[in-house]
Amino acid sequence: MSAHTATTVWRISPALVAALDAHLGPPVDGYVNGTQTWLTDTGPGAVTLEWRLHPVSGFRPPAGIGPYELWDEVTGQLAAGADPASLPLGGERRPLTSLWDGLECYAVDEPVEPAPLTAAATATLALAPDASGLVDHARIGSTWERSRGAVSIVALLLEELQAPIGGAPREP
């Protein structure tokens, strides 16, 4: 059995947040560490997909906003036309990029190949990912836990997928 899991990754952007809001709606869960999570049955063969909006390294929530309110606050501000570089959130202004690094989507409890996962995730979100392929979730999770959240999960994913971290997506 392979220790690698097929995954897709999108870098954070206002367009990504809008696509999540439009196609997946509110998350099913929000975590203290900033993670937002959705589940859909839109994978290949109706496999359940987990969508995780990963927090930035060293995530700190905006003052006065809890993990369950964060998504609604951000999407509400963006829908109202707020500048993504200076969102009024709680008692402060924060850039969208100070909250989340990006989105990951993978199949729950079912092995799938990267190409069908990428096609299903793209169809579900109506937005192509920046990178896709196989990653070692155990290694990435251990690295993140050992750092106590001081490293970016998205950067670790993109590193394994060999996608440029700050730039344009790699060619398929």
pLDDT for 58-108, tens place per residue? 999 999 998 889 999 999 999 999 999 999 999 899 999 999 999 999 999
Task: Return the domain boundaries, the chain.
Answer: 5-161
pLDDT surpassing 60 at residue 11? yes
Question: What secondary structure letter does DSSP report for 28?
Answer: S
The pLDDT assigned to 148 comes to 86
Which residues fall within 8 angstroms of residue 136, CB to CB, at 6 or more apart?
A: 3, 4, 5, 160
Which residues fall within 8 angstroms of residue 108, CB to CB, at 6 or more apart?
A: 39, 47, 48, 49, 50
pLDDT surpassing 90 at residue 149? no
Contact between 130 and 163 under an 8 Å Cβ cutoff? The reply is yes
pTM value > 0.85:
yes
- Quickly state the pLDDT bin for 145 (edges 50, 70, 90): confident
Q: Tell which wins on pLDDT, 165 or 112.
A: 112
Residue 98: helix, strand or coil by DSSP?
helix
Contact between 6 and 95 under an 8 Å Cβ cutoff? The reply is no
Please state, in angstroms and rounded to a whole number, the distance separating the CA atoms of residues 24 and 43.
14
Q: In angstroms, how far is the first alpha carbon of the chain from the final one?
A: 26
pLDDT surpassing 60 at residue 167? no
pLDDT surpassing 50 at residue 172? no
Find the mean pLDDT for residues 23-39.
94
The pLDDT assigned to 163 comes to 56
